[in-house]
Every structure is written in C-alpha cells, then in structure tokens.
A and B are shown apart, each in its own frame.
Chain A
Amino acid sequence: MAKELLRMDHITKTFPGVKALDDVNLSVEEGEIHALVGENGAGKSTLMNVLSGIYPYGTYEGDIVYNGEVCKFQTIKDSERKGIVIIHQELALVPQMSIGENMFLGNERGKKNAINWNETYGEADKYLKMVGLSESSRVLIKDIGTGKQQLVEIAKALAKHAKLLILDEPTSSLNETDSRALLDLMLEFKKQGMTMIIITHKLNEVVYVADKITVIRDGSTVETLDCHTSEINEDRIIRGMVGREITNRFPKREKVELGDINMEVKDWTVHHPLYTERKVVDGVNLYVRAGEVVGIYGLMGAGRTELAMSIFGKSYGSGITGTLKIHGKEVDLKDPRAAIDAKLAYVTEDRKGNGLVLSNSIKVNNSLANMKGVSERGIIDKDKEYQVAVEYQDKLNTKTPSVEQHVGNLSGGNQQKVLLAKWMFTDPDILILDEPTRGIDVGAKYEIYCIINDLVRSGKSVVMISSELPEVLGMSDRIYIMNEGKFVGELDAAEASQELIMASILQSGRGE
C-alpha cells in the first residue's frame, strides 16, 4: 500500500445556523487521483476550503494530517508552502495581463521589489510546456480561450511546486475535447507522481480518471469507493450521491402529437459584433414544431449561444441575415422586447451573468420579463405579483422559505427553476433553453427535464442547447449538430447515437 499523503480526520465545520460538514473523513494516498463527488451544497467545496486554509485552523473541529504531521493552516499561503494548491472553479486570472504575469501573481520572480522579467517569462514558458501549451507566456490572458486559461491555472499551480493539486470543477466551462485533454494531462501528472483531488459533477470524468472516489452527502462522508478493487460505473456513484437508485435519468415523455411548425429559421448568418468580418453563425436552417423538443448539440464555441441570442431579438452579433418565421409569418425582431412579444423566450446558459438579478427577490425576478402581467398602467399590483411568484414556486417545486428570498441565496438548481419560471410567465410558444442543466445536481436535473416534458405536452416548442451528449440524446425528438457556426447534421432521436453525433462533427472538421 502506498504512503498516505493526506488524512482529514473528523472534520466538522459549522456556519451560524448550519452544520456544513459533519464528521468528515478523507484519506488520500500519494500518487493517486481522488475524486470528491456529491450533490450541490453537499459540502465538497467547504471541505477543500478547510484544507487550503481559507477557513483557518480553529474555525473547524478535527485534524488535518499532511505528510504525517498535523497542520494548522492560518492562510492559503501556509498550505501553499506545504505544496497544497487549489484551483478554483472560477478562473482567477487577470484578463489584461500576460500569461507569465498571471502565473507569478503574488509570487513574483526577482529581488525584493524589482521583478525580473526574463526569469518570469523563462520560468513561465517552462511550466507552460509541462501542461502542453505552446503559447508564449507574453500573450495576454484575454486572447486565449477558456480551455487554455484553465491550463494556465494548472501551470500556475505547478509553479508553486504543488505536491497535492486540488481541482474544483476544472471542466465546467470546457468543451468535450478540452475536457478530455485536461483529464489526460491529469493522468500524465499522476505517472510523474503528483497527487490530485478532483471535484466534479461529471461522473463520466470521475470514472475516467479516478483511483478512488469519496462520496459526500449532506455534509458527511457516505463512502469511499476504490476503482481498482471493484467495478465502478456512473449509476453506482449516483446511488451513493442521492442515497437511492435513480432508475431513469430522463423522465419518460408520453408520445405527443407534433403540431405545426412554430418557428422556422432560414439561411441565418451572424457576424461577430467586433470583428465584423468573422462569421459566427453560418447559413443555419432550423425549424421546430409544436410539442417538439429539438436538441442542438455542439461543443462550446460552436456558435450555439450566439445563434440563440441572435434569434432572440438580435441580442447578439452584427450583420444578421436570413429569415425568421414564427407561426408561419415572417418577422423582424429588433430587440428582446419584440422577441418576447412574438412569444419567444431565451433561457440563458449564464444564469448569474445575464439571467437573474441576484440581489433581488425571487418575486422580482419572476415578473421581470413580463411586468405587464403584474401591473396596470405602469403601477405594480403587488398582491398579484406575490401570487404569481408563489404559483410558480409551487408549480416548479422551487425550494425556498419564501418568494421574498434573494435569488443569490438559492442553490444552482433552484436558481435555474426561478429563471425558467421567469420565462414561463411570459407565456412563450417557443422556448430556447441554453444549457438548462449546467452546474446543477442530478436530482434537480431530473426535475428540469420533467418541466421540459410538461412544456411540450402543453403544445409549446422547446429548443434545447446542450453540450452533454446523454442529455441531448435522452431528451430530444430531433437533434441538430452544430460545429464551427454551421449545422453539420440532423438526426432523429430514434437513429441518433453518441457515435453518430461525434462522427458528424469529426467529418465536418475534416471537410474544411
């Protein structure tokens, strides 16, 4: 048996009113990849914050034993000195600065107050090579993609001489190829003796890289699975996470009679708002019938969000050409208001960025896109507004003590429900759902799928954009495949498979 590098013993962490961690135990051996899984709010991130010293020694109970000695970290610096480096879900890079500057931010090379730029960039280039990046370290962060930025974060961690690397949702904003590359890099590091802890929602990734899996539920450790001694699959992990068997990850939809074509888009071309020469969406044709769920699958950066937003009142892009028909009539939607009036709804992928007003209540968010529905001549009917919010809370089973609660205090799954409620209240005929289940846990996902089924049952059309293949396959009646701004395939649910979809993407890539 390999040497135990880290042991967290009986960790209990209490916040005013809540026990976030309750007697959690974690043991990590040298040179392994240890996955930490659990639903949102289970306490994974809190545990890692305890480990890295963000919550200093004394604010929690229990011991951290690292390399055989009990550690009492006061700050992140303390844990980093020992070689424990955490890479957070949100990238902490300064966009206007170069890769090299970012890598040594707070850890500058040189003497005292004078930075030695040659050493900085030289060192930076060395670490960039280790993570497989060919970019020069003088390139600005804002000029490289998210996938590469994630790699820079890792290079930054390496520069701190990390022995134990903690990755919190490292692939949440990466596309499939970049994710795979990152996971392979982790396996490469493992060969060189690095120890890693990965927190992720994506169970296929867990199965792919992990040696051991610790499942956390409601602040306590449920079990630790060893991937080498027993056969581990996704269902087995889910059972641990939710405490019950989820027999079906996608709820069955009764066969709905498909109606008329609700929306049709022809020869839709969109240019980048700044680099107006660049085509972001190129000659896309699509239609969706009443009662139909149409999936758009594509990797991140394929132009899916741009397509959706350009349809939704030209809220993205420049030089938009093509025709848009709603209920068979050609329309020109100049702004989001016109789109909403045309019974179109766009449920964003970025609920915190441009979906919800986090500092306002559920009630306020619920009615924001349809103030007319709760007001008369510009004056708000507060009773009605309250009732509407309660009605949707019940309908979508949003878990909150009251609709006066600020949206920022809700979990990701519940925020997503508020966002959906907001758009359902505009009474749309066509809903474009952009990554409707991103970053939410298995239980909440299932509920979102049920809501989608309810929507189409009542004769609405749903266009679902997703980069999760199982979800697209499990939920859609028909699937469009998008790559580099173009639709490169269209499949019926019956004939579609993971292999076929990936194949059409690869073929289109080669055709160029």
Chain B
Amino acid sequence: MANNNIAKVLKKNAMLIVLVLVYIFFTAMTGGKMFEAMNFNALITQNAYVFVLATGMLMCMLTGGNIDLSCGSFVCFLGAIGGILMGVKELHPGAAIVVMLLIGLVYGCILGFLIAYVNIPPWIATLAGYLAFRGWGTALLSSNSTTGSISLAAKKDYLAIFSGKVFSTPANQINILCMVVGILACVAVIAISFMSRANKVKKGYEAESMSTLLIKCVLSSAAILLFAYKLAKAGGIPTVLIWVTIIVLIYHFITSSTTVGRYFYTIGGNAEATRLSGVDTRKIMFIAYLNMAMLTAITTFIVTSRFQAANSQAGTYYEMDAIAACVVGGVSAYGGSGNIFGMVIGATLIGVINLGMSLMGVDANWQKVVKGVVLLAAVVFDILAEKKTGKA
C-alpha cells in the first residue's frame, strides 16, 4: 500500500521530478553556471514567450487537440507593424499598442470565424497564416529598412512596460522588493493550501493528509524563496515575470472555475454531447482562436521589447515551442484534458533545456534534435502511463 502511494505521487509529479533532474544535470554539465543568478533571470526573460503562447495554445488544444501554427509568424508580422509605427512613423507607444491589439483582434476574429463557423480544419487555416504572415512581415520590414530590422532601442517607455526590471538594483546586491515579494508569495501559497484543506475537511470531502500538505508547503516555499533570492541577486523582478504570472493566474481561474472554461474541456471530450447540452460550441471554438490571437499580440510586445527591435527572424518556431510545452506538460493531444500548471512545468522544462544547452555550447541544430526527442518521450511516457493505470 505504501509502495503504491509512493508510485502514485511519483507518477503525478513525474514532469516536475524530470524538471528538477534535468536542471541538476545541466548545473553539473555547465560547472554550476546554470545555477547562477543571472541564468535564473535568463530562464524567465528568454522564455516568457513560451509561457504566454502556450497558455493560448492550451485553450485551443483543450477543444480537441486543435493547434495554431500561425502564432510564430504572426509575432513577426505584428512586430513589423509595431516597428514601423513606432520606429518609422514615430507614433506614441500607447497608440501603437492599441493599433497592434486591434490588428490582433481582427486576425483573431477572422481565424475564429473560419474555424468555428466555416469549419475549416484549424491546422489548415493556421498553416495559411503561418506562411502568409512570415512573408508579409519580412516584406514590410525589408521595405522599411535596409537590414530587415527596425530598432526600438530608443523607445524607453515601450521597453519599460514589457522588459527590464521592477526597481532594478545592481547585480550581486540583494533587491529588497524582490525578497519581500518572494516571502509574500510563500505566505500566500501556504495560507491558500491550508485554507483549502480546512475547507475540504469541514465539508467532508477527500483531503490530502497533513504530512503531505506540510511536505508540499515546505518544498514549494523553498523553491519560491530560492527563486526570489536568485532574482534578487540578479537585479530584481523581471517585468515580464509579472505579465506571465498575471496571465497564468487568470487562465488558471478561467479553466478551473468558470463555466466557459468548463466548456473547453467538455468540447474536447465530446463536442456533440456538449452541443446537445445547450452549449454554443461554435462560440467556444471562436473564443479559443480569438484568445490565441490576443495572447500572440501580447507575446509580440514581450518579444520586441526583449530584442529592442522588430526583425524578420522573430517568432521562428515559437508555435512549435508552445505546442511542445503543452504536450510535455500533459495536455492531451486529443483534447479534453490538461491544466495550466502542467503547461507551466512543460514550458519551464523546454526553457531549461534551451538555456542549458546554450550554456553548454551545444550546436543549435543539435538543440532541435534534443527537443524533438524530449517531446516524443513525453508523449510516449504519457500514453504508457495511461495504459498502465487504465483498465487495460
């Protein structure tokens, strides 16, 4: 029985354990470089796009394994628009942001309409976008600059919103704000865990044992504090972390506690049953792709800010990273199951692998090979685990 329990815990947290092991592996292989404060910071700033896009991708995949291939190219296209508006036309960043969001809205509506109401298979509709936006974005950039890239380095206001740090301090000093936020986050996690358990016990539901809860709290607090400490040493909280956290929390709430979120799951499980239950399934499909386009627009802000430029290479393979993050994070490729926290772990794992391999100096081509193998392994593991616990 005890053995069985351990196996259960291991299985439930398999990806988390893999993540820790992979992290330790890279720390060892890079002579501790991976564990340096600067690289904790890099993990977030370099991979913020994966978290945001994967959130949108998760919503699409829930509806039945549907994906959006166009988001990477759309990042490039929308970045080009932003670059022209701000860098060439000298438009105010606020106005440029509004225009870019509107373009995202329009694209989302068109895509959602085609997929939900015209019944075009999502991968075909978005494959068109994948091709068209890459070309269109590149064309716009090359007709507006000689290098195929428009610098945004001078747009300090714009950059401050999506990149940089909150109350930045020099490296190797401890950023007080960051530590305070870290401690507050710990307190919040512990308080929420205990309150939810107390609530469950009070109402007589099945609740985890006190010792499990304590172990969980200690481990997650340790992780948060370590993270906060490292970030504090690297100059403070990256602005983009705030964006990612807000988005993750909002979508966690939507998927777990709202009726709309519930419908994403049931449509993926059985679309016809959901339709006959009085749910407008086409509207949900429309929302999924509209939402994806809006999150892609936010990704564009993050990416152009980090590179301080709009360039034609931006967004290459982003869609694949987002899909991989979801799949590694346990989101079903057939739809109907998966959650935000799993996806976050999947995205982090992809980020750790990206960063670790760059630090090790692995050739970019081989990095792709490794990512492909990891993706396949995750799916194989998922299906085998399902088989073992399933009713055979």
Query: Which A residues lie within 8 Å of B279 (CB)?
Result: 337, 368
Whether B278 contacts A409 by the Cβ 8 Å rule is: no
| Chain A stretch 351-408: residues in CB contact (< 8 A) with chain B | 353-360, 364, 368-369, 371-372, 375, 378-380, 382-383, 386, 402, 404
Question: Contact mask B259-271 → A, CB, 8 Å, 1/0?
Answer: 1101001101110
Cα of A79 to Cα of B206 in the assembled complex, Å:
47
CB contact under 8 A between A360 and B336, given known A368-B277, A379-B257, A380-B262: yes
Q: Is B391 an interface residue (CB 8 A)?
A: yes
CB contact under 8 A between A357 and B269, given known A15-B392, A386-B205, A402-B206: yes
- Which of A336, A358, A364, A383 is the most central at the interface, judged by chain B CB atoms within 10 Å of its CB? A336
Q: Is B272 an interface residue (CB 8 A)?
A: yes
Q: Is A422 an interface residue (CB 8 A)?
A: yes
Cα of A15 to Cα of B268 in the assembled complex, Å:
30
Query: Which B residues lie within 8 Å of A151 (CB)?
Result: none
Q: Is B211 an interface residue (CB 8 A)?
A: no
Question: Contact mask B334-345 → A, CB, 8 Å, 1/0?
Answer: 001100000000
Whether B258 contacts A380 by the Cβ 8 Å rule is: yes
A359 interface neighbour in B205, B260, B336, Cβ under 8 Å: B336
- Which of B258, B259, B260, B337 is the most central at the interface, judged by chain A CB atoms within 10 Å of its CB? B259
Query: Which B residues lie within 8 Å of A16 (CB)?
Result: 392
Cα of A359 to Cα of B257 in the assembled complex, Å:
18
Q: Is A332 an interface residue (CB 8 A)?
A: no
Smallest beta-carbon distance A424→chain B, Å: 13
Q: Is A497 an interface residue (CB 8 A)?
A: no
Query: Which B residues lie within 8 Å of A357 (CB)?
Result: 265-266, 269-270, 273-274, 336
Q: Is B90 an interface residue (CB 8 A)?
A: no
Q: Is A339 an interface residue (CB 8 A)?
A: yes
Whether A336 contacts B262 by the Cβ 8 Å rule is: no
The chain B residue sitting closest to A341, CB to CB, is B278
CB contact under 8 A between A336 and B275, given known A359-B337, A360-B336, A383-B203: yes
Cα of A379 to Cα of B259 in the assembled complex, Å:
6
Q: Is A119 an interface residue (CB 8 A)?
A: no
Q: Is B369 an interface residue (CB 8 A)?
A: no
- Can you list 15 residue pairs at the A/B interface with Cβ under 8 Å? A313-B278, A315-B276, A337-B280, A354-B276, A357-B270, A359-B268, A360-B269, A364-B266, A368-B279, A372-B259, A375-B258, A378-B259, A379-B258, A379-B259, A380-B259
Residue numbers of B with Cβ under 8 A of A are 203, 205-206, 257-260, 262, 265-266, 268-270, 272-280, 336-337, 391-392
The 9 closest A-B pairs by CB, nearest first: A357-B269, A354-B272, A369-B277, A337-B278, A371-B259, A359-B269, A357-B270, A340-B278, A336-B278
Question: Beyond the given A313-B278, A315-B275, A371-B262, could you list 15 further A-B residue pairs with CB under 8 A, ordered by the A residue number?
Answer: A337-B278, A340-B277, A348-B276, A353-B272, A354-B275, A357-B265, A357-B269, A357-B270, A357-B273, A368-B266, A375-B258, A378-B259, A379-B258, A383-B203, A409-B391
